[in-house]
Structure 1
Amino acid sequence: MGFAISDELLGTVAPIVVYWVYSGIYVLLGSFENYRLHSKKDEDEKNLVSKGTVVKGVLLQQTIQAIVAILLFTVTGNDDGAATVSESSLLVLARQFITAMLVLDTWQYFMHRYMHHSKFLYKHIHSQHHRLVVPYAFGALYNHPLEGLLLDTIGGALSFLLSGMTPRSSIFFFSFATIKTVDDHCGLWLPGNLFHVFFQNNTAYHDVHHQLYGSKYNFSQPFFVMWDRLLGTYMPYSLEKRTSGGFEARPTKDCKDD
């Protein structure tokens, strides 16, 4: 008799496994200096938190996310993948994914922006994430636990509920969202990266936000840049080659803090 794993369990565990496997690949690729947005030396010297602390912080957030996911699946009481033919169609899945992406982006933009403009919230909560001046892949979910709950966990719950997706659909959506978030923080500009082809919101775009000059810009995450463009917080940039190897995202206009 085979051991069956429920969709709810997979929906809880899969994004965590994907996070560490995918970020591990980027850690290996980070040894190639010609693909980096910052040098390895800058990563070691400019960041204000140790990698060990980052790992512990991410594991804490993932534990909270797992607990909330289990509670959410229990409360919603979705059937274990017993979707009708119409519910499993590609058209319905596409609608659910797009809805979930828009909900997640909208929630995270306004919460993220508020955490930057509230001096109290930035100092005591959001500044923890910005201790990574030079972002790297497995630091994508390094946040204050309260921020992780507000931005990522609640944002994910809302996208799940409002899109109407099933636990089975959520396995794919949240694994995809996890890969995208890791990619945005990887600090690498790799040739042929499809995320850079299909999304303006990419690792260079988010790297601008992590620099001092971009701290009040490029709040959008993880998919689109629409809210930044609509509300005047979009900072354009150009990708230039560094003389020492690799690339650098440089702003193409002067912006002042609000």
Structure 2
Amino acid sequence: MELARSEETLGALLPIAVYWTYSALYVLLGSLSLDKYRLHPRGDEAKNIVSRATVVKGVLIQQAFQVVVALGLFTFVRNDGQATKRAQPSVIGAVGQWVVAMGVLDTWQYFMHRYVHVNKFLYKHVHSKHHTLVVPYSFGALYNHPLEGLILDTVGGALSFLASGMSARDGIFFFSSATIKTVDDHCGLWLPGNPLHALFGNNSAYHDIHHQLYGSKCNFSQPFFVAWDRIMGTYMPYTLEKRKD
């Protein structure tokens, strides 16, 4: 029982540690002479109408909600007797769980994300907060209105966890990977050799289009695949232009 609770605590806290560690890596890389790999010229970040300090505060608030919901979710699963049913699966079973979890999370986030754009009230009073970052950067990935963070990210994560049948231990790896993917999509850099760009069409360049005025009605998919954008006709491809040194 104590081991299970330790895994639950780790499952709630590790994605947050991963978020700030991975974000810090991109901040460090961004401070280097890598301008030719930036999706926007260095000075363009001045277009953002919110300070970095405000972004940090907003993300921490959302992550506090995230921890509470995650611990509550793990406790519910354990007390409901489901923990015994969630024994460590075979490799094929684990892959199947990840596929289901990614599919559920992508589906939930696509339609919820698109809805907060279509609904003018929700966009103005909720989702527009995230779009104050016209030029995204790594630790701004989860800078959202608390209501949006709860509905899109926290509830979406809970649904993917429950639908996939993952154990708390497997959830640690899944939520951490989803966190890495989300940060990477907002990092503002296109670094050669990035394995996530090779594995997923939904990447930093693809999502950057959505943060621009001309692409705000496209590229709603997140965090993994672009399938729903293609199916629903909201797919807008990106073109990378080589910047002079």
Residue matched to 2:145: 144
State which of 28, 40, 43 in structure 2 corresponds to 1:41: 43
Residue matched to 1:93: 94
Residue matched to 1:176: 177
**What's the CA shift for 1:82?**
9.1
Q: Check the 8 A contact 2:101/2:161 in 1, yes or no.
A: yes
Residue 81 and residue 141 in structure 1: after superposition, are their counterparts in 2 closer, same or farther (change >3 A)?
A: farther
Letter in 2 for 1:38: H
Q: Distance in 2 between matches of 1:168 and 1:240?
A: 42
Q: Check the 8 A contact 1:133/1:211 in 2, yes or no.
A: yes
Q: Check the 8 A contact 2:202/2:221 in 1, yes or no.
A: yes
Counterpart secondary structure, 1:200? coil
Q: Check the 8 A contact 2:15/2:179 in 1, yes or no.
A: yes
Q: Which moved more, 1:29-38 or 1:196-205?
A: 29-38
The count of aligned residue pairs is 239
Q: Check the 8 A contact 1:208/1:218 in 2, yes or no.
A: yes
Residue matched to 1:248: none
Q: Check the 8 A contact 2:86/2:166 in 1, yes or no.
A: no
Residue matched to 1:59: 60
Q: Distance in 2 between matches of 1:41 and 1:66?
A: 35
| Percent of paired sites with the same residue | 67
Counterparts in 2 of 1:198-213, with a 5 A limit?
A: 198-213=199-214
Q: Check the 8 A contact 2:108/2:152 in 1, yes or no.
A: yes
Q: Distance in 2 between matches of 1:174 and 1:194?
A: 18
What TM-score results when the alignment is normalised by the length of structure 1?
0.89
1:91-138 residue CA offsets vs partner (Å, 9 max, x unmatched)? 111111110000000000000001111110000000000000000000
Q: Which moved more, 1:115-124 or 1:5-14?
A: 5-14
Residue matched to 1:254: none
Q: Distance in 2 between matches of 1:175 and 1:237?
A: 27
Q: Check the 8 A contact 1:48/1:132 in 2, yes or no.
A: yes
Residue 118 and residue 79 in structure 1: after superposition, are their counterparts in 2 closer, same or farther (change >3 A)?
A: closer
Residue 10 and residue 82 in structure 1: after superposition, are their counterparts in 2 closer, same or farther (change >3 A)?
A: farther
Residue matched to 2:26: 26
What TM-score results when the alignment is normalised by the length of structure 2?
0.94
Contiguous gaps of at least 5 residues in structure 2: none
Residue 161 and residue 4 in structure 1: after superposition, are their counterparts in 2 closer, same or farther (change >3 A)?
A: closer
Q: Distance in 2 between matches of 1:79 and 1:56?
A: 36
Q: Check the 8 A contact 1:8/1:80 in 2, yes or no.
A: no
Residue matched to 2:240: 239
Residue matched to 2:7: 7
RMSD: 1.7
Q: Distance in 2 between matches of 1:59 and 1:112?
A: 21
Residue matched to 1:74: 75
